[in-house]
Amino acid sequence: MSEHEIVIDLSRRGVQDAIRQFAEYTKWVDDKCKQLSESLAKIGYSVASVRFDSAWYTGTNDVKVELQKSENVIGGFTIIAQGHAVCFIEFGAGVHYNGSDGYPGQRAAGVVGIGEYGMHHGRQDYWTYLDTDGQPQITHGTPAQAPMYYAVQEMQQKFLDIAKEVFGN
């Protein structure tokens, strides 16, 4: 990371100048942090979007991914995945593809394990459900594809390179 030096002349004018330099440096750091946050968020958004769009799912893949500026964190961003299929694609359903838990990361609080959702049919190798037309369909469930998990992994992997790019070597 680049270094920044503030030289203080021990006089009234020197201290005022140092305060000005420090304020400018603080703004520079804030701007760079916002730039870093945005760059990482765009990477995460891209990974999540591509992985949700290309996910294998027997139902209707209605997932839409959005990147929004965070309302809670200045300069922060939120990656949002919305749709009925989000949890099925992210965490998987059924033991056929996932064993007792095929998810590569830790499940979020409130997300039940494989076979625990609905009527617990996911504990079986296959089961039937009614599609949107009311027709019975046989399924083995869905493998956990973890688009959001892999988005986080990609952002973590690229953090240092992006930080060096943003702040300079």
Q: For residue 106, tell me if it sits in a domain.
A: no
- Judge contact between 122 and 97, C-beta under 8 A: no
38-91: per-residue pLDDT in tens? Answer: 999 999 999 999 999 999 988 889 999 999 998 888 889 999 999 999 999 999
**Has residue 58 been placed in a domain?**
yes
Q: Is residue 132 one of the residues assigned to a domain?
A: no
Please report whether residue 111 resides in a domain: no
- Number of structural domains (the chain) is 1
pLDDT category at 104 given cuts 50, 70, 90 is confident
Q: What single-letter amino acid sits at 26?
A: T
53 lies in some domain:
yes
Q: Is residue 112 in a domain? A: no
Structural domain contains residue 80: yes
Residue 17 lies in a domain: yes
Which residue range forms the structural domain that includes residue 74?
A: 12-92+143-167
Q: What is the mean pLDDT of residues 144-163?
A: 97
- Give residue 169's pLDDT: 63
